[in-house]
Amino acid sequence: MLIGNVFQQLYNIVDSLVVGNFLGKDALAAVGASFPVIFALISLIIGIATGTTIIIAQYFGAKDYKNIKRAIDTMYIFTFGASVIVSVLGIWFTEDIFRLLQLPEEIMPEAKSYLTVYLAGMIVFFGFNGTSAVLRGLGDSKTPLYFLILASLVNIGLDLLFILVFGWGVAGVAFATVIAQGGAFVTAIIYLNRTHSIIHFSFRGWVFDKGIFVKSLRIGLPSGFQHTFVALGMMALMGIVNTFGTNVIAAYSVAQRIDSLAMMFAMNFAMALTSFTGQNIGAGKYERVKTGLRSTLVMGSLITLTVTVIVLLFGNNIMGFFTPDESVIETGTRYLTIVSPFYITFTGMFIIGGVMRGAGDTIVPMFLTLFSLWVVRIPLAFFLSSTMGETGIWWAIPIGWLSGVILSYSYYLTGKWKSKGVVG
First-to-final CA distance of the chain: 29
Comparing C-alpha atoms, which of 60, 86, 61 is closest to residue 72?
Answer: 60
What b-and-e string marks burial along 324-357, b requiring 16 or more CB atoms within 10 Å of the CB?
ebeebbebbbbbbebbbebbbbbbbbbbbbbbbb
Q: Where are the domains of the chain?
A: 2-419
Q: Is 297 helix (H, G, I), strand (E, B) or coil?
A: helix
Q: How far is CA 231 from CA 218, 226, 234, 237, in A?
A: 20, 8, 5, 10
Rounded to an integer, the average pLDDT of 198-224 is 77
Smallest Cα–Cα separation from 1: which of 198, 375, 296? Answer: 296
**Whole-structure pTM value:** 0.81
Question: Does the structure show a pLDDT above 70 at 247?
Answer: yes
| Rounded average pLDDT over 339-345 | 96
The most confident of 201-215, 260-274, 383-397, by mean pLDDT: 383-397
Quote the radius of gyration of the chain (alpha carbons, Å).
21
Q: Is the Cβ–Cβ distance between 404 and 369 less than 8 Å?
A: yes
**344: CB partners within 8 A, 6+ apart:** 301, 304, 305, 308
Distance CA 37, CA 98 (A): 8
Q: How far is CA 368 from CA 41, 54, 62, in A?
A: 22, 20, 30
Instruction: Collect all residues with Cβ–Cβ distance below 8 Å to 411 and sequence separation of at least 6.
Output: 356, 364, 365, 368, 417
Q: Is pLDDT above 70 for 181?
A: yes
Runs of H (alpha helix) within 2-64: 2-22, 25-61
pLDDT of 249-305, one tens digit each?
999 999 998 998 888 888 888 888 988 888 888 777 888 988 999 999 999 999 999
Query: What is the C-alpha to C-alpha distance for residues 248 and 328, in angstroms, rounded to an integer?
Result: 7
| Mean pLDDT, all residues of the chain | 87
pLDDT tens per residue, range 45-84: 777 777 777 788 888 878 787 788 888 888 888 888 889 9
Q: Report whether pLDDT(146) > 80.
A: yes
Instruction: Indicate the length of the chain as a whole number.
Output: 424
Phi and psi of 150, rounded to 5°? -60, -50
